[in-house]
Chains A and B, each alone.
Chain A
């Protein structure tokens, strides 16, 4: 098990240190009746041989991490020097592929997570108040968007928001603009992806909160009711505090899931406006004929570092709990 986690990470790291071979160039002298000329040509045989001998490519150290497609310190420094306003600097930086993707991934995570938490809690409380006969079917319906394949789920929505699809056409009608397309502008694409994200992950928080609601002690609720608390007050002061551990759990899960957002970008074909870190890696590996393993590896490692940053607070807390239990 550890083998299967550690080896690919190690392998990605090793790959990230190398870049593709340059093509082998041959300098040949071409002598004709009008004097000699030097021409350079690509020695395809030798290039192939070299690629076969050491498939990793040549050693590049941390060069790949620093180049324009990744951390791009040189470009960032340059942008800092050139641009006068802060927003100008920001614009320059976000044009770099890595920072653009990081920005989208973080925005997506930061917007989707709290919204899903809030709405999930609200719907769970709502469903909990429903008569028993409707509860089962409504949970059934709610599970659908979560369990269906992300790629498929986002395709279904994609067809609906298409300019000719039902939602897209309706929006065009409302705004009276027949050329309005959700795919055309960056802002709208981001909104579309975020709406999809909420639709897709809401069931998870809903289900967990719903299960948590079943364990809320009835006595406390009754006591609060006798003391004259309204339903709203009971929800805020009794139910929500009871659910706090669950909220932490769901937040953690959502953070992790949202951070690796990938499939919706593929099926919304949104890559022109929104790229996530996962998508960049995917794109590098897909580079037809000559996958950029080095570049993909470097982004992978950077993403893993990002994940670790995201998880550190939780890991530290878990470790402390674990130590405490041991004592």
Chain B
């Protein structure tokens, strides 16, 4: 009797553990493999003869004298000028985050404190924006931008990215400010602060957790964006993601796939660091809308 009752429990846990283990393997393996392979030559990374070549770098050792080579990175960063794209990305990401956070904090605070129920409409705008394929919006932007001659520049892209990001930031910060007790700024205003001073001295010191979480997601949006940047930036202003895409077009022919591999690894590294430091905030941000509702 006890045996029959216990067997399904054991079976269940074993099954779920092996499922988790399998998933972790599937999630991590491609990254480890590509990271390891980025230090090899192409004939190792794409070794049809024996996949162990990619592990030990047999051909790499034969061609360069060492089992590890930085030639992919050298090619991508120096020869193909990937550092320029990285710089562009840095500029775009920095300004997108700063601008959308500034508007988001002020707007979110105002909406949270004004009595009117904007909440529904912001939520709707956020939803619509998430649902809309970005490319449909970009197709609307493109022709006017050509006509006004502002196509291809970084500021244009930053404005578009901020616009796409804004409903989301306002929504997130709005729900964050709703959780900050109203009493705090009201008591500050009774003590003689103006509305702005109350915001500056009372709200700003306590708002950082919410701002950091929102900032992380703005960062990811701007950093990961392909649709907007590939359509709106000219070749010399490309950010990293479209740059990788254009690498592919040229490298397949020249046999320089390893440049792209190295670039891909370089792009992934910052995200890895980001998750390492901000895992808690990312998880809380992902679930913010869900768990409460």
Residues of A within 8 A of B (CB): 1-2, 4-5, 7-12, 15, 55-56, 119, 122-123, 125-127, 129-130, 136, 138-145, 147-153, 155-157, 159-160, 162-166, 169-170, 199, 202-204, 207-208, 211-212, 215, 230-232, 245-246, 249-250, 253, 256-257, 259-260, 262-263, 266-267, 277-278, 281-282, 284-285, 291, 293, 296-297, 300-301, 303-304, 307, 310-311, 314-315, 318-319, 322, 326
| C-alpha gap A92/B140 in the complex (Å) | 31
| C-alpha gap A168/B5 in the complex (Å) | 44
Indicate if B26 sits at the interface (CB-CB under 8 A). yes
Residues on the B chain within 8 Å of A149, using CB? 223-224, 226, 241, 267-268, 271
Residues on the B chain within 8 Å of A314, using CB? 127
Q: Which interface residue of B16, B31, B45 has the most chain A CB atoms within 10 A?
A: B16
From residue B75, how far is it (CB to closest CB) to chain A in Å? Answer: 16
Beyond A11-B143, A208-B287, 20 extra complex contacts between A and B, CB < 8 Å = A126-B17, A126-B20, A129-B17, A139-B279, A139-B283, A142-B27, A144-B275, A145-B30, A151-B226, A151-B241, A152-B264, A156-B30, A159-B34, A164-B48, A202-B23, A232-B8, A250-B290, A277-B133, A278-B136, A310-B131
Residues on the A chain within 8 Å of B179, using CB? none
Residues on the A chain within 8 Å of B291, using CB? 208, 211-212, 215, 246
Given A278-B133, A297-B140, check contact A141 B166 (CB 8 Å): no
Indicate if B139 sits at the interface (CB-CB under 8 A). yes
| C-alpha gap A163/B49 in the complex (Å) | 11
From residue A182, how far is it (CB to closest CB) to chain B in Å? Answer: 14
Given A5-B129, A267-B245, check contact A11 B267 (CB 8 Å): no
Residues on the B chain within 8 Å of A9, using CB? 136-137, 140
**Total A-B Cβ pairs within 8 A:** 255
| C-alpha gap A249/B160 in the complex (Å) | 27
- Asked whether B16 lies within 8 Å of A125 as measured between CB atoms, the reply is yes
| C-alpha gap A277/B133 in the complex (Å) | 9
Q: Main secondary structure on chain A at its contact with chain B?
A: helix
| C-alpha gap A326/B147 in the complex (Å) | 46
